[in-house]
C-alpha cells in the first residue's frame, strides 16, 4: 500500500494562485538549520512529487552544529 498525504489544509488559499508570470518554474525545497541528509533530500523530493510547490524543511541543530537524532 502506497503512503498517502493528508488532504490539503482547509485554510489553504486554493484557487488564489498568482498570475502565470509569478508562478514558480519548478518545485523547490528550502532547508533550514542544517545541511540535509540524503534521506531528507529523498523524502523532500517524494513530497514535492506528490504536492509541487515550495517546501520548507526545518532541522534542529545540536550544540556541535549536527542535526539531532
- Rounded to two decimals, the pTM is 0.56
**What confidence tens digit (pLDDT) does each residue in 11-32 have?**
776 666 666 666 678 899 999 9
**What confidence tens digit (pLDDT) does each residue in 30-58 have?**
999 878 889 999 999 999 998 888 999 98
Distances (CA, A) of 18 to 2, 6, 14, 24, 62: 32, 24, 11, 9, 38
Question: For residues 43 and 36, what is the distance between their CA atoms, to the nearest angstrom?
Answer: 10
Of 51 and 69, more confident: 51
Of 67 and 31, more confident: 31
Amino acid at each position: 500500500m502506497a503512503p498517502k498525504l493528508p488532504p490539503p489544509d482547509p485554510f489553504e488559499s486554493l484557487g488564489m494562485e498568482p498570475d502565470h508570470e509569478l508562478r514558480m518554474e519548478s518545485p523547490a525545497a528550502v532547508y533550514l538549520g542544517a545541511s540535509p541528509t540524503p534521506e531528507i533530500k529523498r523524502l523532500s523530493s517524494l513530497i514535492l512529487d506528490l504536492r509541487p510547490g515550495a517546501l520548507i524543511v526545518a532541522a534542529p541543530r545540536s550544540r556541535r552544529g549536527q542535526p539531532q537524532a
